[in-house]
Amino acid sequence: MMLSAGWYRLLLGTLLLLLTGLAWAQGNPLDTLRAERLAAEARDVARLQALLDDTQALETALAEAREANALAQARHAALQVRDAELTERRAILARRHDEQDGELAAALGVLARHSGELRNVLAGRWVTAGGASPPPRLDDVETLTREHLETFADALMAVTAESGRIVRFTAPVADGSGALAPREVVRLGDLAAFSDGALLRHGAGEGTLATLERTPRRVAQSLLAFQAGEDATLMVDPTGGQVIEALAQRPTLVERFHQGGGVGYVVVGLGSLGLLVALTQYAYLLKVSGKMRRQRRHLDQLRTDNPLGRVLTRFQSLPDDPVPEALEARLDEAVLAELPRLERGQSLVKLTAAVAPLLGLLGTVTGMIATFQAITFHGTGDPQLMAGGISQALVTTVLGLMTAVPLLFAHTALVARSRQLTGVVEGRATAALAQRLEEHAAPSAATRG
């Protein structure tokens, strides 16, 4: 009589437990492994025996295995089809990559070069101040992607748009003394930037601005009015600041004067002295002219505050002399006594007018000597080393001529005015002499008659 499947499994399980317990009790690792192997074989035999005893279960398991096999084969076929499609697509992509690899690499190189050059150019431009950021550098990019192209194009569009906008923003600005403080800045596209009527330039630090050494006065007034909203027009420099910078570097009259050096100071000093003397003397002559006009209207009331009155008063005080030559000599003496006052300062003005060009020529010679000395020591590579001597040479010449010309006019005016007054005095004195001689001649003629 054969045992049923349940009893068979129970006996095998009991046997396995006994063998495992015995192995563990002995504590031998080899025996333990042998026991486990035997137990596994016993389990497999038990399962096989169970399947043999249970025909229905065996058929069910076989059907399930066949169904699983069919599903696996179907999935395997689908995966094979998918693998073939992927292999074909991979081959197509490989061919396309091989075809476009050179062109993309060349495009990446060109884009990286232009992005670097554009950043270098925009680093000193106003369009990035308070506005758009320059495009990123692509020097470290290995593969060109769509995002790189879009980022570069967007940055270019932003920079282009900012070049046509007027923007107000607050930024640290350094003044002429170097003090850094936040100020309101107005940026005119990519042309210029200014704050409080002063044109700005890029400072030493990144993102800092500094005022120009000098902003032309008319330009500063226009910028102030525009920033305050009082005027909608303003002066701009389309050359990117080159004209404004040239105007700002142009020296003022005071700076020109200092470029003349010691010779220039002497020329201007002598010219100032000559002009002061000329103006003082001309004012005196104008005052004397007014007094003499009043005296000519009232010859019956002689006054001693003018040359004509003093000459006529002295002439009237002379004793009657029957010798006309003696009266004429005394009259000439009185007129000559008034000439030094009328001709005072003319010699000094004439001297300064003649010396000023000579001093200017002296300054020219000394400036050229300094220039040649600079060339001897430093060569002709740096024109700035020669600029000081050339400036002195030219400025002193200009100062000498500018001093001599007005002094010559002043001397001419003094001579003309003094001669006019002298002529008036001599004319009136001669008339008085003739009148006295006629008065003395009339009684003599009557006595002879």
246 CB neighbour count, 10 Å cutoff: 11
Instruction: Name the phi and psi angles at 36, rounded to 5.
Output: -65, -40
Task: Write the CA distances from 307 to 23, 314, 319, 334, integer angstroms.
Answer: 159, 11, 21, 9
Q: How is residue 189 annotated by DSSP?
A: T
Residue 32 confidence (pLDDT): 65
CB-based burial label for 422 (10 Å; 0-12, 13-18, 19+): middle
Residue 257 confidence (pLDDT): 67
Residue 1 confidence (pLDDT): 38
The pair of structure tokens assigned to 320 is 């009657």
Is the model's pTM score more than 0.85?
no
Residue 143 confidence (pLDDT): 66
Residue 100 confidence (pLDDT): 54
Task: Write the CA distances from 269 to 216, 360, 416, integer angstroms.
Answer: 29, 13, 26
Measured distance CA(287)–CA(292) in Å, rounded? 9
DSSP string of 110-125, one letter each residue: HHHHHHHHHHHHHTTS
Q: What is the mean pLDDT of each run of 10 residues along the chain (449 residues)?
A: 47 56 52 70 72 67 81 87 88 68 69 76 73 72 72 80 80 76 81 78 70 75 80 70 65 68 84 91 89 82 79 75 71 81 88 89 79 69 61 80 91 90 82 73 56
Residue 273 confidence (pLDDT): 92
Residue 211 confidence (pLDDT): 78
Residue 279 confidence (pLDDT): 92
Measured distance CA(12)–CA(3) in Å, rounded? 12
Residue 2 confidence (pLDDT): 41
